Structure 1
Amino acid sequence: MQRYPMTVAGADALRAELDRLKNVERPRITAAIAEARAHGDLKENAEYHAAREQQSFAEGRIKEIEAKLSNVQIIDITKMTNNGKVIFGATVDIENVETGEVKTYQIVGEDEADIKLGKISSGSPIARGLMGKEEGDTVTITTPSGKVEYEISEVRYI
């Protein structure tokens, strides 16, 4: 059985999505199917087929979320003592040694990753290069543009 590491916020977001799918989307889609059925011939009824496709997608996503939540391993970084080590859930400031550019990333589960929000998957090359290292360490990470050297300037457990 695969365990899914997830932050508290990530698990909350999945639960909220599940709630929305079950209590908002499911009834809306059921109503759309009923309305489309009322229009008659189902073979040529585009609204009916579109609603059935939405239903299939929503039910699949509900099953997927329920499976993940049943195997989730919630890691609450705020309850841990910050020893400066980069671990799952940590927020890390890294400085490009060559350019001085500073980036901030939080290492999260696969479902939570969103590079625009600075959340990177624990399986990503950057996260794998940082995990287990400590504040002040210099790491070399292979990026699409080649190897880049970063210094870990701060590790926060927030």
Structure 2
Amino acid sequence: MSRGFVKEGDQEETPIIPPRAALPAGATNYVTPMGMELLQAEREELEDERAMLPTTDEQQRRVELAVINGKLDLLNERIASARILDPASQPKEEVRFGATVTYKINSSPTPQTFQIVGVDEADVAKKKIAFVAPIAVALTGQSIGSIVLLNMGGETRKLEVVDIQYG
């Protein structure tokens, strides 16, 4: 039947599926073992949510099911493309994926610390940043005592690596 003969109130809008964290084109989807566990737990939650959808309003159920299935499709693509890198296997003397890095900015007496993780695991509140973030890129490959210049917001800042930990 042509869509011209469907009542206006019967037409469903295409649901908006929120995108996953940005991964630059061509970049390998590195994840920590914990990051992979989090992705798999997220998949289980979405599958449980899909199984528990109420069946009272069929139109609402179809929309919610489309959103969940869209999220699952994006998540499954991310899981399929994931390459697990165990921080314990990284060289201990330099900053690499999975490292917890302590650094100072512009000789500040207060050091800052973050862990370099995959894009889906990144959470600034938990002091975890994505390996594609400018500060992570700038510090990758550096060793304790290294000084790196980083342009942030039109201002050049000097970063000094104070400590590197894995585990």
TM over 0.5: yes
1:60 is aligned to 2:84 = no
The equivalent of 1:7 in structure 2 is: 32
Equivalent AA in structure 2 for residue 7 of structure 1: T
The equivalent of 1:76 in structure 2 is: 86
1:73-106 Cα shifts (integer Å, max 9, x gaps)? 1001123451x20001111001123322211111
Structure 1 pair 7–121 and aligned structure 2 pair: CA distance change class (3 A): same
The equivalent of 2:9 in structure 1 is: none
Q: Give the structure-2-normalised TM-score.
A: 0.78
- What fraction of aligned residue pairs are identical, expressed as a percent? 27
Counterpart Cα distance in 2 of 1:150 and 1:53:
48
1:96 is aligned to 2:105 = yes
Counterparts of residues 71-150 of structure 1 (less than 5 Å): 71-82=81-92, 84-144=93-153, 146-150=155-159
Note the residue ranges of structure 1 that are not aligned, 5 or more in a row: 38-47
Give the alignment's Cα RMSD to 1 decimal: 1.7
Q: Give the structure-1-normalised TM-score.
A: 0.82
Counterpart Cα distance in 2 of 1:143 and 1:2:
22
Moved over 4 A (4+): none
Equivalent AA in structure 2 for residue 74 of structure 1: I
Q: Aligned-pair distance for 1:58?
A: 1.1
Equivalent AA in structure 1 for residue 87 of structure 2: I
1:36 is aligned to 2:57 = yes
Note the residue ranges of structure 2 that are not aligned, 5 or more in a row: 1-25
**Larger helix proportion of the pair:** 1
The equivalent of 2:162 in structure 1 is: 153
